[in-house]
Copies of this chain bind each other. A is one copy, B any other.
């Protein structure tokens, strides 16, 4: 919509492919050299473009700094919340959002069930890392070495008969979760409570958070809860798209 800016921005993908000199930039933009020069100068002043000693232009460090700063200031919670609420509207159960922090997995958001029977959890509280669906999702994304290291250092409390018994079983579970792209906790923490969860990924494909839907047996059976899996996964994917800044105009309805 703005010709000047449009031209200037067109330089960036061009330089991303590799260094180029003024003449090449001008030619590929279809403008006069002096025009290209002024655009490059402006980009340069903002640090988006760097001039190497052979006088050619390259993308500059500022671009990386901006990308990094943007990621740091991005709050998954802000972005995810409306989606979690919507999911809760549709299924009625408790919805959790969790992240990994310093070797623990913490709940950072929660939308309460509309059913009278609720499960115990608190925002900011570490989750039962060896059994919770969100914990499995977050750990499953780590490289194999780290997974093993963590799994071996953990304790495996037997909350119920279905709790993950040991590191070996946990690692096998993580491998499964990693492959299938979703996770469950079927009575592993409290005998009567089941969860299904899915991962939320950032622009680089790494898992940055995990969400899950939890419900007690008295409300829905294990099988009924599992029918929600497609919905949960779709929601997680929508949050991922929004979080990573991919795909525009989400649900213009």
Report B-chain residues with C-beta under 8 Å of the C-beta of A46: 6, 9-10, 12
Report whether A52 and B6 are in contact in the complex, using a CB–CB cutoff of 8 Å: no
Kindly state whether residue A109 has any CB partner on chain B within 8 Å: no
Report whether B51 and A249 are in contact in the complex, using a CB–CB cutoff of 8 Å: yes
Copies in the complex: 2
Contact with B along A114-153 (1 / 0, CB 8 A): 0000000000000000000000000000000110010000
Kindly state whether residue A48 has any CB partner on chain B within 8 Å: yes
> What are 19 inter-chain pairs, A to B, with CB distance below 8 A?
A4-B4, A4-B5, A5-B39, A5-B42, A8-B9, A9-B48, A12-B48, A13-B69, A15-B70, A53-B242, A53-B251, A58-B245, A59-B67, A61-B203, A61-B246, A63-B70, A64-B67, A64-B203, A68-B204
Give the B-binding residues of A (Cβ under 8 A): 1-2, 4-6, 8-10, 12-13, 15-18, 38-39, 41-46, 48, 50-53, 58-71, 73-74, 79, 82, 145-146, 149, 203-204, 242, 244-246, 248-251
